[in-house]
Chain A
Amino acid sequence: MAIAREAGPVGSLHEVREAGLDREDLLTVYRNMLVTRGVEERGHILYRQGKIPGSFYTGRGNEAAAVGVATAMGPDDVGTPLHRDMGVHITRGVEPWRIFAQYMGRQDGPTHGRDGNVHMADAQLGLIAMVSHLPAMLPVATGCALAFRIREEARVAVGWFGEGASARGDAHESMTFAGTRKLPVVFVCDNNQWAYSTPTHYEFATEHVADRAEAYGFEGVVVDGTDVLAVYREAKRAIEKARAGGGPTLLECLTLRMEGHAVHDDAFYVPKPLFEQWAASDPIERFRSWLRDNADLTDDEEDEIAAGVKKLLNDSLQRAEESPQPDPSRLAEGVFASPEDLDTPHHK
């Protein structure tokens, strides 16, 4: 029995306008989703070309969930996106060439080759770099919210996790703490149904992850994670509620991970019909049709956006490939921060 509220789809343009997006915003959302997928598709190519060391993780199928939530965040809000949430980085304004440089371990990636994959973030854009211990970012997001609460700032923190990560104590402790103190944090669960090869019924026994929210004293909402507008609407509600002092929300975006856990995984354990069923609800295709039906997206506009994205990615790739390898002689630098390092917007 579901306890969480199951959010419905978004219908008309009118409804979207009420939620705060005009037509230009909608095209930006569409474009961000295309860039997100494009970055990851090219990442796959780079990986197969041997240009990306280590392993490689992407978030195909999660574009709407990531872009939808990030679009709902305010400029001063912060978040801890994970490896299926490339759309958050793109929406917040991270330049794709830096992401490619990060993938390839180059000097111009946000971590300068010290960490790989989506283990990166631009602090200037309000993002905090994830670690591999995925649920570990939830207490950090909660701590950001705590800082906002102590300082009485109207800011919100968004903490992402997967349904697999929901099994760990970090998730429980964060939600307990955030719930008891009504902290301005929104917990976003990217439920893509498979934690590596483990299905949801081995990760949690309730119908939805969001069903747990009730037990922590706040609202749980399940939304179709392939419907970018529905995700946006629910995220916006949750974020503004938190900003107004209403405490946390657990927003579960239901999707299917459309690839393996990483490039090396062919996901043989996912039933074929499931892939076929979810492929019919591809988030980008779904939004494109909606735009054509509800917002008069024309062929010309579509072509123009696609061409722009293609050019951006080509240029970015070239620039990233020109980025030098990091200098091994500087490996030991910055293990400890110096006082000047605190000269950032957050610390001023």
Chain B
Amino acid sequence: MATDTAVDVVMPQMGVSVSEGTITRWLKQEGEQVEADEPLLEISTDKVDTEVPSPASGTLTQILVQEGETVDVGTKVGQIGGAGLGGSGAAEAPAPAAEPEPAPPTEETPEPATAEAAAEADAASPAETPAPTAAEPSAAPPAAPAPAPSGNGKAFVSPVVARIAGEHGIDPSQVPGTGSGGRVTKKDILAFVESGGAQQQPAPAPAQPETAAAPAPAAPAEAPPPKPPAPAPVAAGETLPGETVEPITAMRRGIAEHMRRSLDTSAHVTSAIEVDFSRIVSVREKLKKEYQAAYGVNPTYLAFVAKASVETLRDYPYVNAEMRGDSIVTRSFVNLGIAVELAEGKGLIVPVLRNAEGLNLLGLARGISEIAAKARSKQLVPDDVQGGTFTITNPGGYGTFHGTPVISQPQSAILGTYALVKRPWVITDESGNDAIAIKPMMNITLTYDHRLVDGALAGRFLRDLRERLEHWESEEG
């Protein structure tokens, strides 16, 4: 089958893993006639040396790769027939030689999709949210929507956006979205947080050539809080000898973010008081057997403190309150948070005992023990950890006698209980004589948000709490 149309001679693939071959000898010279299947050249590869038979009959019009040169498999090395130099075959063949890159060339360069995305974002921005559409150059004509997500558009809040919104108390619908269909992306909400979480709708900004998702810095109604210094990101992957790296768990990250935010939000002040537990110890001694036998519940010291705290809070509504925007919110109920440490320092969680004001000592003891067990066995449901109004933390189990806990936001105070220890204590009898006695003593702290609770108020709260504990009325059971 002699031919006038050009037929390419290509470097053959001599085995599945062979990627290139070297021409050792051309058996014909340019201009010579060759028959189909007649040996045309010799090649050498990693696996074999072999002759390459001519793919067609005709004139060898071109030798593109010279003896001694190495080219990729599939490279055109010569041509049979056709018009010779620059012949028609060249157009569809891969570029001859000289491309040592191992990867095959990509055939198409897809159009950049940014314009499409921008157009789509524009189109989908709901009218009632004059969010700064900003983001993209508006020059792009409306295009067919990119094969996009679920079409939920702005209404859909992704898990990460929901989490960040929850952590920062942001309503995602107030964040300008640049994602598919105007969806709020993680970048959008992080930019929103970074900018101080504008409380007012920002004025529509003029189109900017930047893709930045941050809302335009229109003056907010009140000055944004000073940005906390951005923690220097620790370079991942760098480990010094002796260091062990483990990923941060979701819980640890939640704790970290919450603690930081609490310290950034509230004006933390701690006051402490010493409480004589003599009476509680003896009351508890009596109740213990009865509770254990009848209810299987241990009346812990914590339960006593909880009971006294809940009663005392009745008289100090600001200690059981919250600053919400421009308002102060107080309650007729106490949702009592109990800080629970999870196994081996793996985390901390604050389950909530709802309507603690309605529980007697037994109810509180039982409630605390149940909710702590639920926390440790990971059985808590979201309702169990939400809506707390006041928290008690009990770091005294290891003997510590003082601490400054961090307030669980958005509450206004947290009570800390410490080790119960026997101490020499000065007592004054009815006749006014002082003596030193051995007393079971416990330090109790109140850490409060000084924005709302003043020092004197906190002092009175602690004094009343001490009164209740030292003169426990052996009410119920």
Does A touch B (CB under 8 Å) in the complex? no
State the B residues within 8 Å of A (CB): none
